[in-house]
Amino acid sequence: MQLIPCPWCGPREEAEFHYGGQAHVAYPEDPSALTDEEWARYVFFRDNPSGPFAERWSHNAGCRRWFNAVRDTRTHDLLAVYRVGEPMPEVTA
């Protein structure tokens, strides 16, 4: 079980969190302007790297805040956490 440092509450057990997949995938400005293929990209396609991954977590059983994290998917080590709206920090895996 990972210990996840919620940027609002501090380190808490993974069981308190909800996973939200890839971060920084913005809802398209104007979906109607997209082709079916572009829309499918938004709906279904996410990065799935082996290595550092910017992803979303929600501290569901705590402050209920969403935040972003960079986690190494090979080791599951959390390399950084940051609040929504903040830029992704530079990390070294």
Interface positions with other proteins (CB under 8 A): 1-3, 13-15, 18-21, 26-28, 30-32, 34, 36-37, 39-50, 53, 55-56, 58, 60, 64-66, 71, 73-77, 84-85
Minimum separation from the CB atom of position 76 to other proteins (A)? 5
CB-nearer residue toward other proteins: 13 or 91: 13
Residue by residue, what is the 3-state secondary structure of 21-89? EECCCCCCCCHHHCCHHHHHHHHHCCCCCCCEEEEEEECCCCCCCEEEEEEECCCCCEEEEEECCCCCC
Minimum separation from the CB atom of position 88 to other proteins (A)? 14
CB-nearer residue toward other proteins: 43 or 91: 43
Angle in degrees, CA 87, 1, 43, rounded to 5: 50
CB-nearer residue toward other proteins: 53 or 81: 53
Minimum separation from the CB atom of position 51 to other proteins (A)? 8
What is the C-alpha separation between 45 and 23, in angstroms, rounded? 12
